[in-house]
């Protein structure tokens, strides 16, 4: 029966069978040392010809990333040879039998080098191979915890998970950033957001959430935009005000951060980073207050602009961090006309809406807010925003039958992953990133080959 590497420490003196990949091999005169890697960590294995000549002879063939099965005896390491950096650092395996399960071709580069410092295109071109690196694997362990924690928290608050479609007859968020698909003889779109669907489902179930792929035809190449994103969406009815949405979003994000802190201590250590700091009550500023603060403190005048640009976002986050210690800040109240038709205008000041963003360390993590729930008001916006009501009849129908005050929010899973681990580029936070220039392979290369 297979023993996992992390279990070997409980099997001192016993004979075990382990499976894994050759992470590194070192020949020391008459002995061959191998670091074996499985999904639980690393184990040092020693091949000694005096213990098994046959195993030793086979070990001379081993190269990086061979998949193997090794039988051997778990020996306790003397105090001075304990390696606290690996999960099985108190033991070592003395091999008695080696079976090669799968050979590996010579590696394009040493993926497990301590100083591995790959250029992003190389990292992504060789994704299938670079995923063998433990530090790269850590990114996706953290991401899995982020997504699990979102689900856990939503469920703890009585939200029901639903499945949203990825093909829609109309765009929810407006703008040109949408992929058109040929749908038999018709035109359809990949969903930019499950927005309209989460509102419909909410109108029956009250509290709903989804974990969904969404698609944005982002025409620019930046360090924080992708064309395919995992969107963590929530929607809730019977709210008193947009602040209920803010508070739910705040608790959700704090839960995610706390879970990452608890469950990913080793991964965070590999990146040598600390989690974003939160405080009891995350600061909330209106857009105009934020612009005024940037003017006062950073001495840059963005007052009157319709949104915060990336520099404004960095500045306001830095100012709030300095003033309060919080890495998170909510900004609410955007110009009504600049946001999608469904966002609720502030009744006291209808030029501005009750839409909301959450920023962390200079990057937007979340958007949300209160929605229009009154049918007449919604229809007026549909007209004003020049939407075709026939394309959203299903959405509009919901609002003819009693939709309570409601709102919701969406977090970008890759943005959180990137920011938590302080990765310089969002593409590192995606297994198979899609952008203008890449679908697995670089499109420019592909098209020149196609044309060639
Ligand atoms: P928004 O368009 O702001 O809001 O998207 C929500 C969150 O998704 C992430 N995000 C992206 N991440 C990477 N690349 C992109 N191109 C990209 N676009 C968005 C961000 C962003 O905060 N329907 C509303 C949400 C709502 O009101 O509930 C919406 O889609 O983290």
pLDDT of residue 142: 98
77 and 186 share one domain: no
Do residues 214 and 341 both lie within one domain? yes
The answer on 325 and 248 residing in a single domain is: yes
Q: How far apart are CA 191 and CA 203, in angstroms?
A: 20
Domain of residue 28, residue span: 5-102
Rounded to 5°, the CA angle 298-304-307 comes to: 80
Query: How many angstroms separate the CA atoms of 213 and 400, rounded?
Result: 29
Q: Is the pLDDT of residue 450 over 50?
A: no
Asked if residue 120 belongs to a domain, the reply is no
Structural domain includes residue 123: no
Express the helix, strand and coil content of the chain in percent, nearest 5 each.
35, 30, 35
Query: Is 46 within a domain?
Result: yes
Are 213 and 230 in contact by the 8 Å Cβ rule? The answer is yes
pLDDT at 77 over 80: yes
Asked if residue 43 has pLDDT above 50, the reply is yes
Residues 418 and 330 grouped into a single domain:
yes
Does 63 lie in the same domain as 174? Answer: no
pLDDT surpasses 70 at 449: no
Is residue 109 in some structural domain? no
Question: How does DSSP classify residue 80?
Answer: G
Number of structural domains (the chain) is 2
Pocket test for ligand 1, best of 154, 175, 193 (most atoms within 8 A of CB): 193
96 and 152, same domain (yes or no): no
SS3 289: helix
**442 in a structural domain:** no
Asked whether residue 452 is domain-assigned, the answer is no
Query: Rounded mean pLDDT of the chain?
Result: 95
Asked whether residue 444 is domain-assigned, the answer is no
Mean pLDDT of 48-54: 98
Q: Please indicate, yes or no, whether residues 84 and 173 belong to a single structural domain of this protein.
A: no
Question: For residue 274, what is the domain's CATH number?
Answer: 3.30.930.10
> Does one domain contain both 98 and 137?
no
pLDDT at 445: 67
Task: Quote the percentage of the chain above a pLDDT of 70.
Answer: 98
Ligand 1 centroid, distance to 316 Cα (angstroms): 19
The answer to whether the predicted template modeling score (pTM) of the entire model surpasses 0.85 is yes
Domain check: are 195 and 285 in the same one?
Answer: yes
For residues 213 and 343, membership in a common domain is answered with yes
Based on the domain organization, do 160 and 230 belong to the same domain? yes
Q: pLDDT tier at 173 (50, 70, 90 boundaries)? A: confident
Classify residue 222 by burial, with Cβ atoms within 10 Å: 0-12, 13-18, 19+.
exposed
What gap in Å lies between CA 400 and CA 97, rounded to an integer? 72
The domain that contains 15 carries what CATH number? 2.40.50.140
Give dist(CA 197, CA 222) in Å, integer: 29
**Quick check: 222 and 308 in contact, CB under 8 A?**
no
Q: Which of 412, 425, 436 to mutate to test the pocket of ligand 1 (most atoms within 8 A of CB)?
A: 412
> 299 and 151: one domain?
yes
Q: Which one, of 352, 401, 335, lies nearest residue 374 by Cα?
A: 401
Dist. CA 10 → ligand 1 center (Å): 46
- In-domain check, residue 116: no
C-alpha distances in Å from residue 380, one per residue of 225, 276, 341, 372, 374: 32, 41, 9, 11, 10
Q: What is the mean pLDDT of residues 408-423?
A: 98
Q: At what angle do helices 134-156 and 413-420 cross, to 10 degrees?
A: 130
């Amino acid at each position: 029966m297979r023993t996992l590497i992390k279990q070997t420490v409980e099997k001192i003196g016993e004979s075990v069978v382990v499976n894994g990949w050759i992470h590194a091999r070192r020949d020391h005169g008459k002995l061959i040392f191998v670091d074996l890697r499985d999904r639980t960590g690393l184990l040092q294995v020693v091949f000694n010809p005096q213990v098994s000549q046959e195993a030793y002879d086979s070990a001379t063939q081993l190269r990086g990333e061979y998949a193997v099965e090794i039988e051997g005896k778990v020996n306790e390491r003397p105090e001075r040879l304990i390696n606290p950096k690996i999960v099985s650092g108190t033991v070592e395996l003395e091999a008695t039998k080696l079976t090669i399960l799968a050979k590996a071709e010579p590696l394009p580069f040493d993926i497990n080098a301590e100083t591995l410092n790959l250029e992003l295109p190389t990292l992504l071109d060789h994704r299938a191979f670079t995923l063998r690196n433990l530090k790269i694997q850590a990114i996706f362990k953290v991401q899995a915890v982020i997504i699990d924690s979102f689900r856990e928290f939503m469920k703890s608050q009585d939200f029901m998970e639903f499945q949203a479609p990825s093909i829609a007859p109309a765009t929810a968020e407006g703008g040109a950033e949408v992929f058109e698909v040929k749908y038999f003889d018709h035109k359809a779109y990949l969903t930019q957001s499950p927005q309209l669907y989460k509102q419909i489902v909410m109108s029956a179930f009250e509290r709903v959430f989804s974990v969904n792929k969404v698609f944005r035809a982002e025409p620019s190449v930046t360090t924080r935009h992708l064309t395919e994103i995992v969107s963590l969406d929530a929607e809730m009815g019977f709210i008193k005000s947009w602040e209920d949405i803010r508070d739910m979003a705040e608790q959700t994000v704090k839960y995610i951060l706390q879970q990452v802190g608890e469950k990913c201590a080793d991964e965070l250590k590999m990146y040598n980073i600390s989690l974003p700091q939160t405080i009891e009550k995350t600061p909330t500023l209106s857009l105009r207050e934020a612009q005024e603060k940037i003017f006062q403190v950073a001495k840059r005048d963005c007052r009157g602009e319709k949104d915060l640009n990336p520099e404004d976002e960095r500045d306001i986050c830095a100012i709030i961090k300095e003033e309060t210690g919080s890495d998170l800040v909510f900004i609410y109240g955007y110009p009504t006309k600049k946001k999608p038709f469904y966002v609720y205008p502030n009744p006291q000041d209808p030029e501005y809406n009750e839409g909301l963003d959450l920023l962390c360390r200079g990057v937007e993590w979340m958007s949300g807010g209160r929605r229009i729930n009154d049918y007449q008001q919604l229809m007026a916006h549909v007209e004003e925003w020049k939407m075709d009501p026939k394309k959203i009849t299903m959405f509009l129908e919901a609002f003819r039958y009693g939709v309570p005050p409601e709102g919701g929010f969406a977090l970008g899973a890759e943005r959180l992953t990137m920011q938590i681990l302080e990765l310089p580029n969002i593409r590192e936070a995606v297994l198979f990133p899609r952008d203008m220039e890449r679908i697995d392979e670089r499109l420019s290369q592909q098209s020149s080959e196609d044309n060639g």
